[in-house]
Amino acid sequence: MAKLILLRHGQSLWNAANKFTGWVDIPLSEQGRAEAMIASCKLRAHNYRIDMCFTSMLFRAMETAVICLTECDEICGNKIPIFKHDATDPNWHGWDKYEGNGEDELPIFPTVALDERYYGDLQGLNKQETAEKYGKYQVQEWRRSFNVRPPGGESLEDTLKRTLPFFQEHILKQVTQGNNVLIAAHGNSLRSIIMSLENIPEQEIPHLELATGVPIVYDIDVTGKMTRKLILN
């Protein structure tokens, strides 16, 4: 049975500063890089092997994926991770013309569909200061509710509408064909996927918290149904 492994990126510099990040492209902190390394070691300890990886287009997710796949390279069968850029993107200088070598390389597919929820006017603001200004319940609703948008931003429902179709068409398809897939992404894009996998109701999703750098492993059968979940704390 194939494995689907979800990994929220390691702590970013703005996570450490308690700021709303969203689509701002912030790198990992020292702790975040360590979390990605530890995640790799946990996957190796459980003898998991990765066949392919999907990430968002934000650097903190791509950085997490690369560290995880190269710290303990046994988890990708000692293959070399290689980013496979979208052929429609004019900025990748012909990368799409390289078809790759499946025996030696592990493909990483970056996509905007897995990007973090867009926090609009809140991006760059300190979370505690914002709660003091607008009230902690209002800020909690902006951060965790299903269909309430922060000012100028996306709701979780908006995020789900771009994340879930890509997941079902491209990622879940690979898993049901027997490939072990790692997704390195963000709290809200992963929350959207988990809602679908675990059939979590809208009213319960505000209570779902995802730690940075902690792999969540699902066994997925050939129909796309989740049969087992393991959190590698």
Tell me whether residue 9 is one of the annotated catalytic residues: yes
Domains of the chain in sequence order: 2-231 (3.40.50.1240)
Strand partners, 216: 6, 231
Tell me whether residue 99 is one of the annotated catalytic residues: no
List the binding residues: 8-15, 21-22, 60, 116-119, 127, 143-144, 187-188
DSSP states of 13-79 as a string?
Answer: HHHHTTB--TTS-PPB-HHHHHHHHHHHHHHHHTT---SEEEE-SSHHHHHHHHHHHHHTGGGGTTP
Dihedral over Cα of 106, 191, 143, 29: its sign: negative
* Whole-number pLDDT of residue 101: 79
The CB density around residue 213, as the number of other CB atoms within 10 Å, is: 25
The answer to whether 220 and 176 are in contact (CB under 8 A) is yes
Q: Residue 179 is encoded by which pair of tokens?
A: 């490939």
Our separate counts of H helices and E strands in the chain read 8, 7
Among 121, 110, 119, which Cα is nearest to 144's? 119
* Whole-number pLDDT of residue 93: 67
* Whole-number pLDDT of residue 86: 75
| Residues in CB range of 112: below 8 A, 6 or more apart | 56, 57, 162
The answer to whether 7 and 233 are in contact (CB under 8 A) is no
List the binding residues for substrate: 8-15, 21-22, 60, 116-119, 127, 143-144, 187-188
Catalytic pick among 9, 63, 154, 186: 9
The answer to whether 147 and 156 are in contact (CB under 8 A) is yes
| Residues in CB range of 148: below 8 A, 6 or more apart | 141, 142, 155
* Whole-number pLDDT of residue 44: 97
Catalytic pick among 35, 63, 71, 116: 116
Q: Which residues of the chain have pLDDT under 50?
A: none
* Global confidence as pTM: 0.95
